[in-house]
Amino acid sequence: MEHFLSALGDILLPLNFALLFAGSALGLLVGVLPGLSSPMALALLIPIAFGMEPISAFMILIGVYVGTKTGGAFSAILMRTPGTPAAAATAMEGYPMAQRGEAGRALGLAIGASFIGGTLSWLVALPLIGVIGTFAVRISSADLALIGILALAAVASLSGNDLLKGLIAAALGLVFSTVGVDELSGVPRLTLDSYHLLGGVPFLAAIIGLFAVATVLIDISEATSSQAQPAQNNRFSVLEIIRDLWIMRKVLGVGTVIGSILGIVPGVGSDTAGWLSFAYVKRQVELGRIAGDRKIGEGVPQGVAAPEAANNAVTGGATIPMLTLGIPGDGSTAIMLGALMLFGLQPGPLFFRESPDLAYGILIALGIANLTTLLAAFMFIRPFVAILKIDRAMLLGTVLVLALVGSFASSNTTYGITIAVAFGILGYFMHRFGYSIPALALGLILGPVIESNFRRALLITRGDYWVFLTSPISLICILIIVFIGAKFCFDTWRRGRNQKNRLA
Amino acid sequence: MKAQSQQEVVTLMIIVAFAALIFWETREFGGATNGQISPGAFPRLAAGTMGMIAVIRAVLLLTRVAQPSHSGVGQWAWATLKRPFGAAVLMTIYTAAFESVPFAPLTVAFVFSAFLIFGVRPWKRLLIGTAIASSFLYLLFVQLLNVGV
């Protein structure tokens, strides 16, 4: 409680609160603009935030993380172009609402539902983090290594459309993570005799390359120079929105539960949560359990509220493994964990014990960020809608320079830029050939955690590999990994059989 | 075999070759002693897993049990590669010139060229956009963050 109150006091300092609000506004802006994403914004912000105190740096990062979840709905509703993948489901009913002249109501519902989903899931996560955190300190090195491998397997299987390619990407990330001087023996590994590589692959430059440079390269191969025309009538009455949200409390609750649960599972992400809750609304409309004469595709307001509640509720769920085990669930949380490492902190079971003020600060900020995002959304709704008219090609060009100079700022050498460009080109080709970029990033981040715990476990037991099968946690992890593999084998066999049947 | 499958098998073979390179680079590290596994063990384990999965995937493709899961280079309009290629060349020039050319003129030239390659038109918008974006970047990195450029 003492640390909780101390962290709350830190966050309520004018500078930190202002940074949280600024981060939320920036996150909304990033979410509004199609082509920009939360991982990209976080990767670009880390070099800027690195000069601050850790708590202040995380205020702006968390504000951006939460803000982007809400911002994505703006362009989804007004232009049928989701600002973030998480808002794709919102566009299904949000855009038809805008076409019916209800753009303001749809935006208000999205903002309100985002706040409710994010806040409720945070309230659920608070006690769970305490319980899991107490339990997590008893986890052994072997357990931690297997939890890390399980997270990689989960991300590999869920973030792309092909498990094997996801695993290849994750293993590639692990290989890159081993570059540099080995911590246990002091021996240089895979450095190709380059003194630059003695310190390992610079994490920040690699992340900027994978999430910012690669995204720009992917987008410019598709984007054209154009000025979009978002739908008009974006005014709404706050009282009417509150009344609407009260009427929709059941779908909001379901969306929040879906998002909170899926947030805990690495690799599932906000977009899946949004689509699942949209599927729930669709089913309810088909069964006639939602009042009104609108069919799906004609602007059902619940089809905006439920996905928005769900994709924001993911933030609460994702906080649990991130803060208690040091396991990130997606690209954004992976970058935030990487930022913790850059500050010399070790996320994981001992994080709350070793850095309680920062750990509780991050936890509390995640809750307050929902409120600052709500405020920022109401304050800046008009300018953000106007910004939607910005030329996408210009935006991408500016982001490219931000990425390059940002990667220089992270190391003050052009070596950082070289790494960002190299990883950007690698990310571009990985995307084109269907390999998961988040899986590679996660491998890069979890690599040191998995390797050190794997080796420590073997060192303690003098090389006895049975250590990985003796605890219940390890066994559960192995069973889930085996299940993922078995499911893939079964799906591949079934697809092969169906294809043969078609040819016959 | 379809063009996409061929392309995917080629990329998988590149991955296998990369895994073999990791094994070659870590060949001088010793084996395990007294429970202390060698510094080369984990990179070899990761690279071995990567190479083995790539081989499995290639076998599945060659035996047509699995289908290529990407759109395929053959189906790409080669024109869509022009802009990423142009951007890659531009980034390489920017990186090479970063320490020898002052930040402001280099960034103005980069922003202008990037906008040009990305298709910003007409010229008036291109010039105004370059001026605004370059000023923003200069203010952010040089004035506000004092990055040593």
Q: Taking a C-beta distance cutoff of 8 angstroms, is the pair A339, A146 a contact?
A: no
Read off the pLDDT of residues B80-113 as tens digits, 9 standing for 90 and up: 788 999 999 999 999 999 989 999 999 999 999 9
ipTM summary value: 0.92
Is A12 touching B (CB cutoff 8 A)? no
Q: Are residues B7 and B71 in the same domain?
A: yes
Q: Are residues B33 and B45 in the same domain?
A: yes
B33 phi/psi in degrees, rounded to 5: -135, 125
The answer to whether position B16 is within a domain reads yes
Q: How many CB pairs under 8 A join A and B?
A: 188
For residue B101, which residues of chain A lie inside 8 Å, CB to CB? none
Number of structural domains in chain A: 1
Distance from CA of B1 to the nearest CA of A (A): 15
Residue in A175, A404, A413, A417 to test binding to B, most B beta-carbons within 10 Å: A175
**DSSP per position, A418-431:** HHHHHHHHHHHHHH
Q: Cβ A421–B91 below 8 Å, yes or no?
A: yes
Is A422 touching B (CB cutoff 8 A)? no
Is B146 touching A (CB cutoff 8 A)? no
Whether pLDDT at B145 is above 90? no
Q: What's the distance, CA B44 to chain centroid?
A: 23
Read off the pLDDT of residues A400-428 as tens digits, 9 standing for 90 and up: 998 998 888 877 788 999 999 999 999 99
Q: Are residues B139 and B121 in the same domain?
A: yes
Q: Cβ A162–B69 below 8 Å, yes or no?
A: yes
Please report which confidence band the pLDDT of residue B29 belongs to, taking 50, 70 and 90 as the band edges. Answer: confident
Query: CB count, 10 Å around CB of A378?
Result: 13
Whether pLDDT at B74 is above 60? no
Q: Are residues B86 and B127 in the same domain?
A: yes
Q: Are residues B12 and B43 in the same domain?
A: yes
Is A402 touching B (CB cutoff 8 A)? yes
Number of structural domains in chain B: 2
**Burial of A351 from C-beta contacts in 10 A (0-12 / 13-18 / 19+):** buried
The answer to whether position A388 is within a domain reads yes
The answer to whether position B52 is within a domain reads yes
Is A452 touching B (CB cutoff 8 A)? no
Q: Are residues B25 and B9 in the same domain?
A: yes
Q: Cβ A391–B56 below 8 Å, yes or no?
A: no
Is B118 touching A (CB cutoff 8 A)? yes
Sequence-separated contacts (24+) of A48-52 with Cβ below 8 Å: A48/A406, A48/A409, A48/B145, A49/A339, A50/A342, A50/A343, A50/A410, A51/B145, A52/A19
Q: Which of A222, A394, A461 sits opposite B129 (nearest CB)?
A: A394
Which of B75, B98, B132 lies at the terminal end of a domain, its last residue?
Answer: B75
Distance from CA of A414 to the nearest CA of B (A): 7
Q: Which of A175, A185, A402 sits opposite B46 (nearest CB)?
A: A175
Distance from CA of A427 to the nearest CA of B (A): 12
Which of B50, B75, B100 lies at the terminal end of a domain, its last residue?
Answer: B75
Q: Are residues B11 and B71 in the same domain?
A: yes
Sequence-separated contacts (24+) of A179-184 with Cβ below 8 Å: A182/B39, A183/A448, A183/A452, A184/A452, A184/A455, A184/B36, A184/B39
Q: Taking a C-beta distance cutoff of 8 angstroms, is the pair A458, A465 a contact?
A: yes
Q: Are residues B136 and B89 in the same domain?
A: yes
Is B27 touching A (CB cutoff 8 A)? no
B36 phi/psi in degrees, rounded to 5: -85, 105
Q: Are residues B110 and B128 in the same domain?
A: yes
Provide mean pLDDT across the span A207-212.
Answer: 91
Is A456 touching B (CB cutoff 8 A)? no
- For B68, the domain range is 3-75
Whether pLDDT at B52 is above 90? yes
Chain-wide mean pLDDT for chain A? 87
For residue B121, which residues of chain A lie inside 8 Å, CB to CB? 225
- For A355, the domain range is 2-470
Record the tokens describing residue A279, joined without a space: 């599927």
Is B131 touching A (CB cutoff 8 A)? no
The answer to whether position B149 is within a domain reads no
How large is the angle between the packed helices A38-49 and A54-79, nearest 10 degrees? Answer: 150
Whether pLDDT at A23 is above 90? yes
Per-residue H/E/C for A435-458: CCHHHHHHHHHHHHHHHHHHHHHH
Query: CB count, 10 Å around CB of B47?
Result: 27
Closest-CA residue to A112 (of A303, A368, A304): A304
The answer to whether position A51 is within a domain reads yes
Is A421 touching B (CB cutoff 8 A)? yes
Q: Are residues B95 and B70 in the same domain?
A: no
For residue B7, which residues of chain A lie inside 8 Å, CB to CB? 433
Listed range (A144-148, A183-187, B5-9, B35-39) with the worst mean pLDDT: B35-39
pLDDT reported for residue B72: 47
Query: CB count, 10 Å around CB of A455?
Result: 23
Please report which confidence band the pLDDT of residue A228 belongs to, taking 50, 70 and 90 as the band edges. Answer: low
Q: Which of B37, B57, B81 sits opposite A458 (nearest CB)?
A: B37
Q: Are residues B21 and B71 in the same domain?
A: yes
Which of B75, B100, B132 lies at the terminal end of a domain, its last residue?
Answer: B75
Please report which confidence band the pLDDT of residue A51 belongs to, taking 50, 70 and 90 as the band edges. Answer: confident
